[in-house]
Amino acid sequence: MRLKYGGRDRSTTVADTIRGDLTAVARAHSNIALVKYWGKRDPALNTPATGSISVTLDALATDTRVSFDPSLAADQFHLDDRPEPASRVSALLDVVRSQAGLTLHARVNSTNNFPSSAGLASSASGFAALALAASRAAGLALTPRELSVLARRGSGSAARSVFGGYVEMHAGTAASGLDSFAEQLLPGADWPLSVVVAITEPQPKPVSSTAGMLGSATTSPFYPGWLETADRDLDTMRRAITERDFRTLGEEAEHSCLKLHSLMLTTRPALIYWNAGTMAAMHRVIRLREEGLPAYFTIDAGPQVKALCAPEDASAVAAELGAVPGVRQVRISALGPAAHLVDDMAPAEPGNP
């Protein structure tokens, strides 16, 4: 039986009507990759060409409310209280609707407690929160692995933000994409780590990761080398985490970061995400090590620098990075939890542009 609403071309099934108010609110935390993802195996299913390893960040979070609503003629998406194009959100909602046998459109409201689209992985926390809120609002109870597969459809890095602590994403080989998911390697509490985030530019980045990585795969002469060395990097990082070997973790994270940016710099047109503050912060981290303060840098598809260090060194590293010319703001993050449902959304962070 199908019920029509308002005589228009929107319909819902009886199952829709017995699921309560079809609303859920979820929180997911951003993550930073220690071994980076850059390149897709299947762009349609958004499977990555290589695996990756990340840590989930407690201080950077997205809250997302999803309400399926029979009165809507199209999906609506608001980010930090401003209307945004809903196409990528709708694509993920379409997967949820098809799994749940639902035809309703949804109202989606998201807030980030950090600048969006500026190399702080807002798509990771955003799509992980959306996957959890949308699947629950639609009445689905997915396993963490199923949730990770769903989040990956929205954004590759989002598959990792489903989990807390140290997380590995598996590239998978299946044409279905069902073996391309993340899982936890180690809870954050088992090996506490701090990430000092040095923000050099809060404005959105000029080239999206999705477009950038497609360009790298087709134009950078370094892309074959990137694919060839991925498994070795993953093995070394996995071992460093298992053995709680901070020096190897840091050295490998810096290497993966610099290899990623070599790939970006040799893409046509070139992807130059760094600014002068980025460069100055990298050199400062190297000098801190020489001066006896163990810290290692990593940088994503943006100009922000993240320094990895022991929790007891975090305030000293933050003070040093905060004094670097071009660094506008510094945040310290511990390792964060898995994506989870919350009662209501936190208010948007004041000053978030």
Residue 177 contacts residue 152 (beta carbons within 8 Å): yes
In this complex, which beta carbon is closest to ligand 2P0, that of residue 155 or of residue 278? 155
In this complex, which beta carbon is closest to ligand 2P0, that of residue 155 or of residue 220? 155
User: With helix as H, strand as E and coil as C, how does 58-126 read?
Assistant: EEEEEEEEEEECCCCCCCEEEECCEEECCHHHHHHHHHHHHHHCCCCCEEEEEEECCCCCCCCCHHHHH
51 lies in the binding site for ligand 2P0 (CB under 6 A): no
100 lies in the binding site for ligand 2P0 (CB under 6 A): no
d(CA 50, CA 172): 8
User: What's the closest the beta carbon of residue 193 comes to ligand 2P0, in angstroms?
Assistant: 16
In this complex, which beta carbon is closest to ligand 2P0, that of residue 25 or of residue 33? 33
155 lies in the binding site for ligand 2P0 (CB under 6 A): yes
The stretch among 58-66, 151-159, 186-194, 285-293 that binds ligand 2P0 (CB under 6 A) is 151-159
267 lies in the binding site for ligand 2P0 (CB under 6 A): no
112 lies in the binding site for ligand 2P0 (CB under 6 A): no
d(CA 271, CA 273): 6
The stretch among 32-40, 225-233, 243-251, 333-341 that binds ligand 2P0 (CB under 6 A) is 32-40
The DSSP H or E segment spanning 254 is helix 246-265
Site for ligand 2P0 (CB under 6 A): which residue of 24, 26, 28, 33?
33
In this complex, which beta carbon is closest to ligand 2P0, that of residue 52 or of residue 194? 52
d(CA 71, CA 335): 40
d(CA 200, CA 301): 13
170 lies in the binding site for ligand 2P0 (CB under 6 A): no
Q: How many residues bind ligand 2P0 (CB under 6 A)?
A: 17
180 lies in the binding site for ligand 2P0 (CB under 6 A): no
109 lies in the binding site for ligand 2P0 (CB under 6 A): no
Look-up: residue for tokens 């046998």? 101
Provide the residue type at 33 as one letter: A
90 lies in the binding site for ligand 2P0 (CB under 6 A): no
For the chain, give the longest Cα–Cα distance. Answer: 72
Give me Rg for the CA atoms of the chain: 20
Polymer length of the chain: 353
Site for ligand 2P0 (CB under 6 A): which residue of 46, 50, 56, 116?
46
In this complex, which beta carbon is closest to ligand 2P0, that of residue 135 or of residue 209? 209
117 lies in the binding site for ligand 2P0 (CB under 6 A): no
92 lies in the binding site for ligand 2P0 (CB under 6 A): no
SS3 state at 279? helix
SS3 state at 308? strand
Chain residues that interact with ligand 2P0, rule: CB under 6 A: 33, 36-38, 46, 52, 121, 123-124, 155-157, 209-210, 260, 300-301
